[in-house]
Structure 1
Amino acid sequence: MSQDMTQQLIAAARRMETWIRDQALPLWQKVGFDPEFGANYERLLPDGQPDLEAKTRVRVQARQAFFYAAAFHRGWCPEGQKLATGLLNFVHQHAAHPTAGGGYTHLLDKHFTVIDSKQDLYDHAFFLLANAWCYRAFGDEAALREAEKLVAHFDTAFVADYGGWIEGDYAYACRRQNPHMHLFEAFLALYDATGEAKWLARVGELFALFQSRFFDPQQQVLLEFFNDDWTRCADERGDIVEPGHMMEWVWLLDWYSRRSGRPVKRYTDALYNKALEIGVAKSGLLFDSVMPDGRVLDHNKRCWGLTEFIKANLVQIRAGDPNATERAVKGVEDLFTYYLCASTPGSYVDQRGADDEVVVDVAPASTLYHLIVLAMELLDHCETYKS
């Protein structure tokens, strides 16, 4: 890696930090909260104002609690502790499940009244992550106790045969790797926050599921949709590949390896190289979904996929890939060119189309989770990895 390219990566990391600290945080603190309930709005409109008509996913409160806890921990948001704990308190008061004995509901109307009380595994993964970070950032013992209770709840309520957990307390068409990926992340966050080996053991259980079910060694791809026994779906869902998730697993597996000592390079290299081959458009953005043979299923390109691509490149830099630094630098440049380019500073475009045109111009609050993790990973990489 050239010294010039290293300096460009450091500059890219600082650019992300500046955007989070000086643009995103001031904007979302100013317009992102409902003044009566203290809940976070679901999204901002193109003019930078909140969408007051939108329904609100309960998990958005958890993702935003994580966002503010992480920002506080970095020294970017002195109000972060108050904001994060306020969001989780709102959920406890207004969106806790009334009869399940634990956990949360799924959807609120524009008045922040529950309109869908189903319990969803994916949602709960983010509450686990938020509580892990509230403990890490603030030393909040209540958050750690809540994390313990949540795990006990879905161990009982979402118990499944063949490993992992079911999708939730509702009828579903197939099982997904995606909630398990985010539980993998949440358990790693709990381990980092507490140092308790039981959380790393949980990650190890999910790593085994990744090895045996999610990863297809013949096609070198990550599978998404499965039957109850974790066999791949026989219909077209069984062939869907999301390049962004493949890149996200590169980052997660590397994180797990650094904590556990388990070798993962055969998986990270395979996922990275295959996603690079079949999932990246000419512009450098990632397609939302493709087939294992590279046929594009969905030509749209969400913002979050690019954040995961940049994080995967950081892993590959550390693994010695001579081209990964250049790809990471270009990825950050593309992020600002295509997504962090809204007319309101601190907002963003969510999705680009087949010709990289804007197709979704609202800014979902949930994307901030991806953006702040990227900023932290870039800064940590530049701080610790010297070449």
Structure 2
Amino acid sequence: MRFTSFVLWTTLSLSGLALPAQPTPAPTATIPADLPTGERWLRHFREDLLPFWNVPAAWGTPRGDFPTFRGNDGQAVDWAKPPAELAEALGWIKEQFSREYVRMKSRQTYFYGVAYHLTGDPKMLELARDGATFIRRRALDPQTGSAVSYWEQGVPKPEMLARTTQDLAYAQLGLAMYYYLTRDEATLRDIRKLKRHIFSQYWNPEWQALRWVKKESPDGEHLRQELVAQLDQVNAYLLLLTPILPPADRREWAADLKRLAQVMVRDYHDADRHLFWGSLHDPAQKQLGSRHTDFGHTAKAYWMLERIGRLTSEQPLIDLATTGAKAVLKQAYLPDSGTWGSRLRPDGSVGTGKEWWIYAELDQLAATLALTDPAQTAPLPRTAEFWFKRMVDPVHHEVWGGTGGAPGFEPWQGPKIHQWKSGYHSAEHALVGYLTAQALHRQAAILYFAPPSAKALLRPYVFEGSATTRTSLPLPGFPGRRKVAVTFTALK
């Protein structure tokens, strides 16, 4: 069944044809009465997340040079006497204290973009602009279009073709959110240039896939075949921007989305197990419990494939992704605790510990599927309750990196912000939670944009929807732009 669908989809794609999306069947299930409302998700964003990021210690010097590391109380780090969570951090975190990562500045830029998107506060858009400006001026190479991965004691590293495609994708994340909100043409020019660099320099004709790095090295990094080299191009910028680009760009980017979808299904997807393998270059990694073989990468891959299918009207891809997504959600849900597990252990059992980003991806996937199949809402009241009550730091805000396993699920007391954890996943979780909750409760969702014209094509994030009303006001601090509030209904 999987082989037939994939061959049919690939054949149609390569011939330049596309199957029309089939009509969505009328929902037959009802949503739980205690499914969190959109207002609950907005309150979570305003009260639990935003206070951690809306403080001077988070803004950087100059503003926009957002720090990779801060204390769990949100304060700047005194490296002569770091707080306990950093002094006692795991080795892989401590060994990179001397680095400032572009991907983390980009993720924080994204956070402020979401903050404006949900609240309409111009000060949040100013912070997003500060982050985007810093990345464009300091991290991007005007000659090649590449992006620095990190600065180590002020020195940009590594050399150009030793940078990973994952880091290059995440350099785009904050820029993409800023363009999505503002339609700033200068930002789009830099996004295009970096995207061309990635696909021209890192596409491997032999593999018909993106490389991890291009520069050959004795340690074999250039031979690594990684799911995230493909997947993170999609979720960081391609999917969000493709439908709002000028027509020529839209056609090219849609073709690239299809290409990457084919790579992920052809090379990394295990249809029998309903998972995606994290890497291919080491046969020892193609087993349960291996690096990046977890519910988070699998959920994100299925979510992205389902969204690509809808955007490009590829019904076989929608079917493949939906079937696999429902299976992995069923595997990941732990009914005794009403929570999501993080991965399958080597023996096939479900690991009960929590990782913040994996938990968020599973919630987002279930909520998206529920738009056409309300039965998928069944776990969401309990998974959301756990998130609000156990994952949030009630004193200093934001969310913990995760928890231990059953029965206690005690929060990890390690750093809440480091070289891989910022506000990206928690902000997207709240945004998707708000949009889908409003739709499932049959309420309109309001989002704020900042285009030059109120007539711009505006969409509700990675979803489709009907823009029923728009209001347009001057936007303080942004000459020539409007504060446009859009009411969306019929989310799908």
| TM-score where L is the length of structure 1 | 0.85
8 A contact 1:21–1:76 mirrored in 2: no
The answer for the alignment partner of 2:181 in structure 1 is 137
Compare 182-191 and 20-29 and name the one that shifted more: 20-29
1:343-372 Cα offsets, whole Å, 9 max, x none, are 21x322112223422334321274421122
> What displacement does 1:62 show?
1.3
Q: Which runs of 5+ in 2 are unaligned?
A: 1-28, 80-96, 443-492
8 A contact 1:42–1:51 mirrored in 2: no
Specify whether residues 250 and 367 from structure 1 end up closer, same or farther in structure 2 by C-alpha distance, changes over 3 A only: farther
1:127-166 Cα offsets, whole Å, 9 max, x none, are 3333222222112101111111011111222131322211
> What displacement does 1:121 show?
0.6
The answer for the alignment partner of 1:236 in structure 2 is 285
8 A contact 1:41–1:52 mirrored in 2: no
CA distance in 2, matches of 1:175, 1:104: 21
One-letter code aligned to 2:265: Q
**Partner of residue 267 from structure 2, selected from 202, 210, 213:** 213
How do 1:297-312 and structure 2 match up within 5 A?
300-312=353-365
The answer for the alignment partner of 1:230 in structure 2 is none
8 A contact 1:310–1:331 mirrored in 2: yes
8 A contact 1:40–1:64 mirrored in 2: yes
The answer for the alignment partner of 2:35 in structure 1 is 9
Could you say what the CA RMSD is over the residues aligned between the two structures, in angstroms? 2.8
**Partner of residue 227 from structure 2, selected from 177, 180, 188:** 177
8 A contact 1:246–1:275 mirrored in 2: no
CA distance in 1, matches of 2:319, 2:207: 26
One-letter code aligned to 2:262: A
The answer for the alignment partner of 1:274 in structure 2 is 328
Q: Which runs of 5+ in 1 are unaligned?
A: 228-232
Specify whether residues 36 and 129 from structure 1 end up closer, same or farther in structure 2 by C-alpha distance, changes over 3 A only: closer
Does residue 123 (structure 1) correspond to residue 176 (structure 2)? The answer is: no
How do 1:79-90 and structure 2 match up within 5 A?
79-90=123-134
**Partner of residue 53 from structure 2, selected from 15, 28, 33:** 28
8 A contact 2:44–2:430 mirrored in 1: no
> What displacement does 1:112 show?
5.2
Specify whether residues 27 and 357 from structure 1 end up closer, same or farther in structure 2 by C-alpha distance, changes over 3 A only: closer
> What displacement does 1:2 show?
4.3
How do 1:315-334 and structure 2 match up within 5 A?
315-320=368-373, 322=375, 324-334=376-386
Identity %: 18
One-letter code aligned to 2:64: G
**Partner of residue 313 from structure 2, selected from 261, 276, 283:** 261
Does residue 359 (structure 1) correspond to residue 412 (structure 2)? The answer is: yes
> What displacement does 1:32 show?
1.0
Higher helix share: 1
Does residue 47 (structure 1) correspond to residue 101 (structure 2)? The answer is: no
> What displacement does 1:59 show?
0.5
8 A contact 2:35–2:381 mirrored in 1: yes
1:34-63 Cα offsets, whole Å, 9 max, x none, are 234631122432333234544332111111
One-letter code aligned to 2:398: S
One-letter code aligned to 2:399: Y
> What displacement does 1:22 show?
3.9
CA distance in 2, matches of 1:292, 1:269: 23
8 A contact 1:177–1:225 mirrored in 2: yes
1:63-103 Cα offsets, whole Å, 9 max, x none, are 122222232233343123322222232234433459x8222
Does residue 165 (structure 1) correspond to residue 210 (structure 2)? The answer is: yes
Specify whether residues 2 and 289 from structure 1 end up closer, same or farther in structure 2 by C-alpha distance, changes over 3 A only: closer
1:189-226 Cα offsets, whole Å, 9 max, x none, are 11133262322221111111122112112322211111
Does residue 379 (structure 1) correspond to residue 434 (structure 2)? The answer is: yes
1:223-275 Cα offsets, whole Å, 9 max, x none, are 11112xxxxx3113554321112222232223223212212233322243135
Does residue 339 (structure 1) correspond to residue 415 (structure 2)? The answer is: no
One-letter code aligned to 2:156: V
CA distance in 1, matches of 2:129, 2:155: 20
8 A contact 1:243–1:279 mirrored in 2: no
The answer for the alignment partner of 1:114 in structure 2 is 156
* Structure 1 counterpart SS, 2:296: helix
CA distance in 2, matches of 1:23, 1:61: 21
